[in-house]
Amino acid sequence: MYLRVLCGLDYFRMTRRRWIADEFSTDYAALTGSHADHLSRVLRAKVGQVFDIAVADQVRRARITRIEQDRVEFELGELIPVPQPTQVTLALSIFKFDRMEWAIEKCTELGVARILPVIARRTEAHLSVAAVKRVERWQRIVKQAAEQSRRASPPEVAQPIKLKDALASPGSTRIVLSESEKDITLSDALQSAASDVVLAVGPEGGWTDSEIDQFRETRWSSASLGGTILRAETAAIAALAVVLAELQQ
């Protein structure tokens, strides 16, 4: 009762669940496979229930019209306004998959627009080889995280590329996190940034000196997150949070 007085009745109301459609047309959408199974069997959805459904970067109110095994169909209704996403690309060097997947999930929740897995000099060889087969899993992770965080669409997860190709990533502001940078913080580097930012985060062990030279030669700015040494996944999440906070001011 005490919490109810402090926070109001709305504190206890459930936020309408949002799903990203597997199939859709003008007035119709569907979830399929395990996606539908979770809604129908685990959450025990019923015909007539209303959810928010994301379709083609829009969000629509939707009513369940049919539930079958591995399929839930919706009638699409009114359009729901959603904020315009900030276009931030995360060039994320490949590191141990369990920790990398955690970073991918959390960066999706924060609002990253694109994730570019990068094979760096210090990326372990077996991870470089295996990464190609992990992209589908990463795409499932970002879809689930996007739904959980009520995004209109998941970020793109690109195929892994070598650093020399990542260096050409387009963006008005391109910043590489560097442990050797002593003078410029990430916030400093973002002072005149446009809305399309590319942020590069190194692997375990960091970028090599020759890689930092390559970034500078291709006109990337270098920046620091401070004096402590962070794990790759911590650096990615913290840096993205700083970028988004600066751009949304």
- CATH number, domain with residue 27: 2.40.240.20
**Tokens at residue 151, please?**
């995004």
DSSP 8-class letter at 42: I
* Predicted local distance difference test score (pLDDT) of residue 249: 65
Contact 187, 246 (CB under 8 A): yes
* Predicted local distance difference test score (pLDDT) of residue 38: 84
Contact 27, 76 (CB under 8 A): yes
Contact 207, 92 (CB under 8 A): no
**Tokens at residue 231, please?**
């794990």
Consecutive H or E run containing 228: none
Comparing C-alpha atoms, which of 184, 179, 171 is closest to residue 203? 179
* CATH number of the domain where residue 101 is located: 3.40.1280.10
Contact 198, 169 (CB under 8 A): yes
Return the bridge partners of 200, or none. 91, 176
* Predicted local distance difference test score (pLDDT) of residue 224: 95
165: Cβ–Cβ under 8 A, 6 or more apart, which residues?
none
For the whole model, what pTM was predicted?
A: 0.82
Q: 57 and 165 in one domain?
A: no
Contact 186, 233 (CB under 8 A): no
* Predicted local distance difference test score (pLDDT) of residue 9: 33
Q: 101 and 42 in one domain?
A: no
Q: What is the mean pLDDT of each run of 10 residues along the chain (249 residues)?
A: 36 60 92 88 89 89 92 93 84 98 97 97 96 97 92 94 96 94 93 88 95 97 92 97 88
Q: How far apart are CA 184 and CA 123, in angstroms?
A: 26
What is the sign, positive or negative, of the torsion defined by CA atoms of 240, 182, 219, 187?
A: positive
Where is the domain boundary, 80, 107, 130? Answer: 80
b/e sequence 19-35, b meaning 16+ C-beta within 10 Å? bbbeebeeeebbbeeeb
Q: How far apart are CA 58 and CA 72, in angstroms?
A: 19
Contact 239, 177 (CB under 8 A): yes
Q: 117 and 54 in one domain?
A: no
Residue numbers of the domain that contains 44: 2-80
Q: 188 and 204 in one domain?
A: yes
* Predicted local distance difference test score (pLDDT) of residue 4: 36
Q: 57 and 130 in one domain?
A: no
Give how far Cα 234 sits from Cα of 68, 99, 225, Å: 42, 9, 11
Contact 62, 49 (CB under 8 A): no
* Predicted local distance difference test score (pLDDT) of residue 188: 93
Q: Write the single-letter amino acid at 88.
A: V
* Predicted local distance difference test score (pLDDT) of residue 40: 86
Q: How far apart are CA 102 and CA 246, in angstroms?
A: 23
Where is the domain boundary, 80, 104, 130? Answer: 80
* Predicted local distance difference test score (pLDDT) of residue 238: 97
- The structural domain count of the chain equals 2
* Predicted local distance difference test score (pLDDT) of residue 192: 81
Q: 115 and 76 in one domain?
A: no
Where is the domain boundary, 55, 80, 105? Answer: 80
